[in-house]
Amino acid sequence: MKISTKGRYALRLMLDLAINYGGELITVKKIAARQGISEKYLEQIITQLKKAGYVRSVRGSEGGYRLARDPAEYTVGMILRQMEGSLAPVSCLDEEVNLCARAADCITLNVWKKVKTAVEDVVDQITLADLVKDYQEKVVLDLNLYLLTFKM
């Protein structure tokens, strides 16, 4: 019941870009360092996000990546689906042609449908902008804590 690293890393990558939205281009190298993720693996992931039109790139020296749209226009669900293909907990539920022969009689299928809906309700409601806000609030909180510690 794990979300693949692709999905998880893609979300952290997109959040990193979202936090820097409007600023300069961000390199994969910097994201990898900040997030503690393999640089080459991130390259593969960001390539997929680029193909989906979620990020724009500039090649060459001083190049890098940036978000294609405003952070508020990306939901967590969009990003996960792009990387994982579907949020269905079982392949029997994948919308495509992949319909399971047992679907008509399968009692457990209903369980998975409910799980799928529950997950989607969560991830389709959270946008990158929400997460950026969480981040900014956390930064302020940490700063206050720091100031308090040193009695300033």
Partner DNA sequence: TATATTACAATAGGATTAGTAGGAATTCAA
Partner DNA sequence: TTGAATTCCTACTAATCCTATTGTAATATA
* Contacting positions for DNA (CB under 7 A): 4-6, 9, 26-29, 37-38, 40-41, 43-44, 46-47, 50, 57-65
Residue 74 interacts, among DNA, a copy of itself, ligand FES, none and using kind-specific CB cut-offs from 5 to 8 Å, with none
- Is the torsion defined by CA of 64, 13, 9, 125 positive or negative? negative
Q: Judged by CB under 6 A, does residue 100 bind ligand FES?
A: yes
Burial of 14 (0-12, 13-18, 19+ CB in 10 A): buried
Q: State the DSSP string of 34-59.
A: HHT--HHHHHHHHHHHHHTTSEEEE-
Contact 28, 78 (CB under 8 A): no
Which one of the spans 11-19, 24-32, 41-49, 56-64 is the region binding a copy of itself (CB under 8 A)? 11-19
Q: Does 68 engage in binding with ligand FES (CB under 6 A)?
A: no
* Min dist. Cβ of residue 79 to a copy of itself (A): 10
Binding of residue 76 to a copy of itself (CB under 8 A): yes
Q: Which is nearer to DNA, 29 or 69 (CB)?
A: 29
∠ CA(68), CA(124), CA(56), 5° rounding? 10
Tell me: does residue 92 bind ligand FES (CB under 6 A). Answer: yes
Nearer Cβ to DNA, position 34 or 40?
Answer: 40
Tell me the sheet residues that pair with 64.
Answer: 58
Amino acid at 11: L
Q: Minimum CB separation from a copy of itself for residue 89, in Å?
A: 5
